[in-house]
Amino acid sequence: MATNDTHDRLAVGPITDDDLLFVDDDRFAAGNVAVVTGAGSGIGRATALALAANGLTVAATDVDEGGLAGTGEEADRLGVAGRVESIVADLTDDDDIERIVDEAAELGAVRYLANIAGLQHIDAIEEFPIDRYDEMHDVMLRAPLYLSKLVVGRIRETDDGAGVVGNMASVHGRYVTADKVGYNVSKFGLRGLTQSIAAEGGDGLRAFSVSTGYVKTPLVTDQIPDTADQRGISVDEVIDDVMLGQSRVSELMDPVDVANLFVFGFTAHGSHLNGGDLLFDGGTTLTYE
């Protein structure tokens, strides 16, 4: 059972300008478009807002129409320099994936893609429902590949062929924990997709991934009770021992902290970030006691 203190630790306040990274970049202009998946909540919403705050037109897509409406309201509240345009779509549907990119192209030159949408399921391998795995694979790996295929084609058509694909990986794309086989496989695959785009890029086209520890998002908070049940521990122990047990930082990241990494990665300041992985995990994977 969660305590009030647990709720406080997982609470996320409204994004303000002070939270956002602002970067001068000639390509961060309303005529250029960033496609952001999972934009109805969590990291996807924060990334859509951060990119729009930096002047881009954002094609924000999610299966959750209400969530996207909330993202639009947040953009209005922030008074972003660019704009957020909602595209309700299902990443398990190829027609919807194609429509996302077509509608984004109607807004301007598609130069950026942030593959962020994700799912989670907690079960041991022998118990893992394969239909749930298929759904996770479609949303978290197949759709990013298909979107990348379509967006790279659009980037190649621009006047200078410059653009960036950013993929939301995870520490689980470097090492794994039990009972998350679907998530683990997808995150390892996203790093492979990132490096494949880099291998075929050049002349302004590049890709990077972002790997974080646990972030205060619905995907993370929703898995806490299942993890507690699976391991026979309390929800507070899940946070302290499972999520933060190896971290040298005692707090979970906010979604906007991750969004700022996408902002940096998309700018000219990240020109040598190609195929690389931005590891922001509080020391979780590279230190030990």
Phi, psi of 132 (to 5 degrees): -70, -40
Residue where the block lists tokens 């994936």: 97
Q: Which helix (H) or strand (E) holds 149?
A: helix 143-157
Sign of CA dihedral 128, 9, 169, 152: positive
The C-alpha atoms of residue 250 and residue 239 are separated, in whole angstroms, by 10
The CA-atom distances, in angstroms, between 203 and each of 18, 145, 161 are: 34, 21, 7
Residue 64 CB burial class (10 angstroms; 0-12, 13-18, ≥19): middle
Q: How open is the CA angle 84-88-94, to the nearest 5 degrees? A: 120
Active site residue 183: yes
DSSP, residue by residue, 69-94 = HHHHHHHHHHT-SSEEEEEE--TT-H
- Which residue among 112, 133, 183, 214 is the active-site one? 183
CA dist., res. 158 & res. 269, Å (int) = 20
Distance CA 173, CA 191 (A): 7
Positions marked active-site:
183
